[in-house]
Chains A and B, each alone.
Chain A
Amino acid sequence: MEGRCPRCKAVLWHSAKHTDTISFAAAISGLILFYPAITLPILKFSMVGQNGSNSLIGGIYRMWIEQEKMLAILILLCSLIAPLMHLLLTAVVCLSIRLNHFPPHFPQWLKYKCWMQSWSMLEVYAMGIIVAYVKMMHDGDVSVSGGTYCLCALLLCVILSSQYFYEEQAWQHWEQNKPA
Chain B
Amino acid sequence: MTTSAQQRGIARCTECGKLSHLPDLGDNSVASCPRCNVALSFRKPQSLQRSWAYTVAAIALLLPANILPILTVISFGQGDPDTIMSGVVKLWVSDLQAIAAIVFIASIAVPVLKLVILIILMLVVQLQLPLNRQQCTVLYRFIHFIGRWSMLDLFMISILVTLVHLGNIATVESGPAATAFAAVVVLTLLAANSFDPRLIWDLDDE
**Whole-angstrom distance between the alpha carbons of A74 and B186 in the complex?**
9
Task: Enumerate chain B residues within 8 angstroms of A33, measured Cβ to Cβ.
Answer: none
Determine if A155 is an interface residue (Cβ-Cβ < 8 Å).
no
Give which listed residue, A47, A52, A111, A125, contacts B155 with CB less than 8 A. Answer: A125
Majority secondary structure, A binding face: helix
Give A144 Cβ to nearest chain B Cβ, in Å: 12
Task: Enumerate chain A residues within 8 angstroms of B165, measured Cβ to Cβ.
Answer: 52, 62
Tell me which residues from 80 to 128 in chain A have a Cβ below 8 Å from any Cβ of chain B: 107, 110-111, 114, 118, 121, 124-125, 127-128
Number of contacts between A and B (CB, 8 Å)?
148
Number of B interface residues in the complex (CB < 8 A) = 52
Would A71 and B174 be within 8 Å (CB), given that A47-B169, A54-B162, A131-B103 are in contact? yes
Task: Enumerate chain A residues within 8 angstroms of B99, measured Cβ to Cβ.
Answer: 130-131, 134-135
Contact of A52 with B173 in the complex, beta carbons under 8 Å = no
Determine if B21 is an interface residue (Cβ-Cβ < 8 Å).
no
Task: Enumerate chain B residues within 8 angstroms of A60, measured Cβ to Cβ.
Answer: 158
Contact of A7 with B201 in the complex, beta carbons under 8 Å = yes
Contact of B94 with A63 in the complex, beta carbons under 8 Å = no
Contact of B163 with A124 in the complex, beta carbons under 8 Å = no
Would A124 and B173 be within 8 Å (CB), given that A43-B159, A54-B163 are in contact? no
Would A66 and B160 be within 8 Å (CB), given that A7-B2, A128-B155 are in contact? no
Chain B residues with a Cβ under 8 A of chain A = 2, 4, 15-18, 35-37, 73, 75, 91, 94, 96, 99, 102-103, 106, 133-134, 137, 148-149, 151-167, 169-170, 173-174, 178-179, 182-183, 186, 193, 197, 201
6 contacts between A and B (CB under 8 A): A8-B137, A54-B159, A71-B154, A78-B151, A128-B155, A128-B158
